[in-house]
Structure formats: structure tokens, C-alpha cells
């Protein structure tokens, strides 16, 4: 399991949650006061960490949401083949391939150490 459950009232801006099966970073969080017969509601605006798309959620603050377990790790560039880079994790020595995004197109070279994040079975380079 690569996520846990957490009440909405415990979340803060800058933390992560899962919306539409996509791990997202919270960029805006507002709460309303409870009405005469209702509960306090929270409005969350978040950006997907892999897709970059904006998502929102309006829900009572007592409801629970999924919070992804995000691992930040380092790896070494082994080789570059077209639009993919082959990496070796510095801790587990696992070899895997990732697609090269436009941000890191000219920054990767064999032997260089990079940082990546692993969330819900998906990986992405964060710093080269």
C-alpha cells in the first residue's frame, strides 16, 4: 500500500493527497464555518505531481482522504537511449528506465547523480 488515510482537517498547504487516483500537492485550502444543520466544509485546490493538472475537492472536514507515501531518492545515470534514461538507485542498486522530460533534456549525462521521487508506483526526476 503506497498511501494512508487522513482527515481533511489535518491537511495543510504544501502537503499531498490523492485526487482521482493521482498524487497531488495542495496549493490552496480554505474551510467554511459549520451551518445551522451542517458540518464545516473544506475546499482544496491541488496540482498533480506527475501530470501538472489542477484538481479541486469540496468535502466536510471530518471525511478521510488518501495521502500518498512519497519517497525522495537519489540515482545515478547509467545511460541515455533516445527519450529515456536508464538509472540505478543509489541505495538499492535497482536499475530502471524513466522518460526524459523537457526540463532535464540537456542536464542528464552518464555518471551524474540525480534525485527522483517515487509515489504510488510512479517515478519522476525532480533534480539533475
User: Which residue, 75, 91, 80, is CA-closest to 124?
Assistant: 75
Domains, the chain, with CATH or none: 3-68 (2.30.30.30), 70-127 (2.40.50.140)
Q: Mind listing the pLDDT tens digit for each residue in 46-104?
A: 999 999 999 999 999 999 999 999 999 999 999 999 889 999 999 999 999 999 988 88
Long-range contacts of 10-15, Cβ-Cβ distance < 8 Å, separation of 24 or more? 11/42, 11/44, 11/65, 11/67, 15/67
Yes or no: say if 61 and 42 are a contact pair by the CB < 8 Å rule: yes
Report how far residue 48's alpha carbon sits from residue 23's, in angstroms, rounded to the nearest whole number: 6
Cell of 11: 491537511
Yes or no: say if 15 and 42 are a contact pair by the CB < 8 Å rule: no
Q: Measure CA 28 to chain center.
A: 16
Say whether pLDDT at 1 is over 80: no
Q: Which residue has cell 533516445?
A: 82
Q: Mind listing the pLDDT tens digit for each residue in 101-126?
A: 888 888 898 999 999 999 998 999 99
Secondary structure of residue 13 in the 3-state scheme: coil
Amino acid at each position: 500500500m503506497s498511501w494512508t488515510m487522513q482527515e481533511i482537517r489535518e491537511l495543510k498547504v504544501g502537503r499531498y493527497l490523492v485526487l482521482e487516483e493521482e498524487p497531488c500537492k495542495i496549493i490552496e485550502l480554505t474551510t467554511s464555518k459549520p451551518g445551522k444543520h451542517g458540518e464545516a466544509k473544506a475546499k482544496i485546490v491541488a496540482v498533480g505531481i506527475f501530470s501538472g493538472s489542477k484538481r479541486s475537492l469540496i468535502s466536510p472536514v471530518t471525511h478521510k482522504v488518501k495521502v500518498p507515501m512519497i519517497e525522495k531518492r537519489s540515482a545515478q545515470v547509467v545511460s541515455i537511449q533516445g527519450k529515456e534514461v536508464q538509472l540505478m538507485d543509489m541505495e538499492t542498486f535497482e536499475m530502471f528506465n524513466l522518460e526524459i522530460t523537457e526540463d532535464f533534456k540537456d542536464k542528464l549525462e552518464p555518471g551524474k547523480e540525480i534525485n527522483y521521487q517515487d509515489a504510488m508506483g510512479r517515478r519522476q526526476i525532480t533534480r539533475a
